[in-house]
Copies of this chain bind each other. A is one copy, B any other.
Amino acid sequence: MAQQVEGAVAAPKRRQARGERRIAELLEAAGQVFAESGYSATTTNAIAARAGVSPGTLYQYFPNKDAIADALAERFAAELETLQRLLVPDLAALPLDELLSRVLDPMLRFQLENPACPVLFMGPDVPQRLADVHAPLQASLLAGVADLLGALAPQLQPDELQRSAAVALHMFKGVLPLLVTTPPAELPALVEEIKTMFLGYFTVLIGRG
């Protein structure tokens, strides 16, 4: 991030100010185009055009199309890993609706600001390597949800917890497209509705003797 000093560390590229900005712009543009068109249908030329630069400029900062997706996905992975730390079983002590707010609010905000995230993580047309790279994160998220559910509903068996956690994650994924297509004015109501959805499901899970 900070290499104004001439001594420099690791990657001692000199004039990084513009470069870093360009990279950020390119990733932003890539995120938009990926979100709109999916992975295979987006062209590098479209990304460059969206960022307002020429194809050559794009390829000065990224060796190929995959690398762009990688860089975006890595950023997403880092943020998701941070968000995942919210999924501690201690939360189970809270009232269910507050628990849901604590977990869902940051998660939904992140997804709203990064609509390309689900495309790159779960699109059917992403390069296999990218899918492999993020399988562990998916698994870890799943485990986090399963643990939380286990704390909420101790009577459930491990395989039931796995299944319920998987269903919960897929419910979440499923409503993401709604987030980005909903006009901002109706967002709060939608977020409430999503919480209601989880509230209902989890209540049934907990209430099963």
Please give the residue numbers on chain A whose beta carbons come within 8 Å of chain B beta carbons, in ascending order.
35-41, 119, 122-125, 163-164, 166-167, 170-175, 177-178, 186, 189-190, 193-194, 196-197, 199-205
In the bound complex, do residue B196 and residue A201 qualify as a contact, i.e. CB atoms below 8 Å apart?
yes
Please give, as numbers and ranges, the residues of chain B lying within 8 Å of A196 by CB-CB distance: 201, 204-205
Residue of B37, B125, B166, B199 near A37 (CB, 8 A) is B125
In the bound complex, do residue A163 and residue B124 qualify as a contact, i.e. CB atoms below 8 Å apart?
no
Chain B: minimal CB distance from A66 (Å)? 13
Residue of B37, B199, B205 near A124 (CB, 8 A) is B37
9 contacts between A and B (CB under 8 A): A119-B124, A174-B175, A196-B201, A196-B204, A197-B201, A199-B204, A200-B200, A200-B204, A203-B204
Residue of B39, B172, B200 near A202 (CB, 8 A) is B200
A206, closest chain B residue (CB): B200
Most chain B Cβ neighbours within 10 Å, of A173, A189, A194, A197: A197
Complex CA–CA separation, A171 to B190 (angstroms) = 13
Complex CA–CA separation, A173 to B175 (angstroms) = 9
Complex CA–CA separation, A201 to B201 (angstroms) = 6
In the bound complex, do residue A36 and residue B171 qualify as a contact, i.e. CB atoms below 8 Å apart?
no
Please give, as numbers and ranges, the residues of chain B lying within 8 Å of A124 by CB-CB distance: 35-38, 41, 119, 123
